[in-house]
Amino acid sequence: MDKTIDFKFPPKEKLKLTIHEFLDTDVSDSFYYNGKPLYEKIKDDITSKDTVYQWRRQYVRENKNNVCPTLTANMGTGGHNVPIIKDDKRY
């Protein structure tokens, strides 16, 4: 018996929230790169507070599509695709 359905994606919606509306403000310094070895490699490339950047093992990539990439459990363990954001004080 054929049980296929005619699926249609819903229409696109304009994004209404920014990454800052999801961030905690009382966060331990241990979660920031300031003062740590990677800080010197990323500080000049991360310039906007309204962008999610990604550390790609050797360089910083700016995420230009205005959405946060998928967060996975192994981010950071191998140094690949680690999301980085800038707040008022730190990275």
Is position 67 within any domain?
Answer: yes
- Give per-residue pLDDT as tens, 60-75: 998 887 777 888 877 7
* 65 belongs to a structural domain: yes
- Is residue 89, in this structure, part of any structural domain at all? yes
Q: Is 65 exposed, middle or buried (0-12, 13-18, 19+ CB in 10 A)?
A: exposed
Structural domain count, the chain: 1
Pairing state between β 80-84 and 60-62? unpaired
Q: What is the pLDDT of residue 64?
A: 82
Find the domain containing 84 and state its range.
Answer: 32-91
Give domain status of residue 23, yes or no: no
> Does 19 map to a domain?
no
Domain-embedded: residue 12: no
Q: Do residues 85 and 52 lie in contact, with contact meaning Cβ atoms separated by under 8 Å?
A: yes
pLDDT digits (tens, 9 = 90+) for 7-52: 999 998 888 888 888 888 888 888 888 888 888 888 899 998 888 8
Residue 1 lies in a domain: no
Neighbours of 32 (CB within 10 A): 15
